[in-house]
Amino acid sequence: MSKIDEIIEKGLLARNIEESDLRKNTGIFVKIAIISETTSHLIIRNNEPTETTSEEFFGDERVVIPASKWRGAERSFILSWLRRIDGIIPKEYERNAVQKKNLLKNPISLLYGDSSTGQNKEATSIASRNYYDWSFSFEPLPEITERLVHNSLSDSGTILMDEKGQVQRNAIYNIQYIKPGVKFVRFVTLENVSKELLILQLIAIIGTTRYGARTAILGDNVKNKVIAIGFSKSDKPVSSYTIMEALWNKKSNNIEEEVIKQMKYSYGDDLLIQDDIENFLSETKEVMKNKDILKNICKLIVQKMDFDWKEFF
């Protein structure tokens, strides 16, 4: 019996969506531990468009990546991936612009949560089943960022000038980038999910390679590595901050070792690591590239939504 089957037998993950009841809180929590490493330059902006988001921890300014920066990119990826398969995502579905609740009957709306802004009976919402963590850099901000010069162009393609023919003050500016080779630990926690929904979440994580602000000169810039998945009947207090706090205290940058240590302490045997997680990720990748299997999984999810929430829709 595989490790994931053992987890299912213990009641810590629904074997399939048909064994789930979407109307009930089953108390199933799944925590995915990820190490995301920058492979090119990455822009994580705050309210100041040229500055990287950061906060002071343990006497140094550290890069902070809000959960929304991870979540938005991964939701967009899995949505575009499933659009490649006919009959899964309604053609009329537009994220943040849904006005008919029937359009929410799709796997992404179930996993990520969604809402319809239609009037009267068409107005409704679905709660999210995934929750993203913030991330913090081990290194101080100056060590892992650099500034590159940009210029603002007019419609004619020339640098913006003022009335006196001088370069405008905001025409030449520096944008702060996170350098390649920086590692961030983060977690995605799933609640009340089945094996199929876990696989969809993993597809979103391993398939997404582009994060942060979009520019004409930036492409893929992050590689994700899933290193552990914990299963429990209550959420465990393991987060990117607890990992980084331990590392900052020890002045050690062995992120993967600390993640495994804390996950083992919190989850014991109810944990996928090493060979067990590689086996499950291999299964996930097979589903990801097989349109027929993926379509069948998604159809079952939609049928379950229709059955459990027939009055809702």
Dump pLDDT digits (tens) for 234-262.
999 999 999 999 999 999 999 999 999 99
Q: How confident is the model at residue 163 (pLDDT cuts 50, 70, 90)?
A: low
* Residue 292 or residue 168, greater confidence: 292
Residue 252 within a domain? yes
Q: Residue range 55-82: average pLDDT?
A: 96
* Percent of the chain residues past pLDDT 90, beyond the cut: 71
Q: Residue range 51-66: average pLDDT?
A: 93
H/E element holding 117?
strand 114-117
The candidate with the shortest Cα–Cα distance to 246, out of 120, 147, 136, 153, is: 136
Residue 228 within a domain? yes
Q: In terms of DSSP bridges, do strands 271-272 and 145-151 run parallel, antiparallel, or are they unpaired?
A: unpaired
Residue 114 within a domain? yes
Give how many domains the chain has, as a whole number: 1
Which of 34-43, 49-58, 207-216 reaches the highest mean pLDDT?
Answer: 34-43
3-state secondary structure of 262: helix
Helices 67-83, 195-207: crossing angle, 10 deg rounding: 100
Do the Cβ atoms of 189 and 208 come closer than 8 Å?
no
Residue 313 within a domain? no
The candidate with the shortest Cα–Cα distance to 186, out of 145, 227, 148, 221, is: 227
Residue span of the structural domain in which 293 resides = 3-308
pLDDT higher than 80, residue 155:
no
Query: Which residues, 6 or more positions from 179, have their beta carbon under 8 angstroms from its beta carbon?
Result: 38, 41, 144, 145, 146
Residue 159 within a domain? yes
Q: How confident is the model at residue 179 (pLDDT cuts 50, 70, 90)?
A: very high
Q: Which residue has the tokens 């679905």?
A: 126
Residue 232 within a domain? yes
Q: How many residues does the chain have?
A: 313
pLDDT tens, residue by residue, 220-237: 999 999 999 999 999 999
Which of 25-39, 89-103, 152-166 reaches the highest mean pLDDT?
Answer: 25-39
State the virtual CA torsion across 207, 212, 216, 221 in degrees, nearest 10: -50
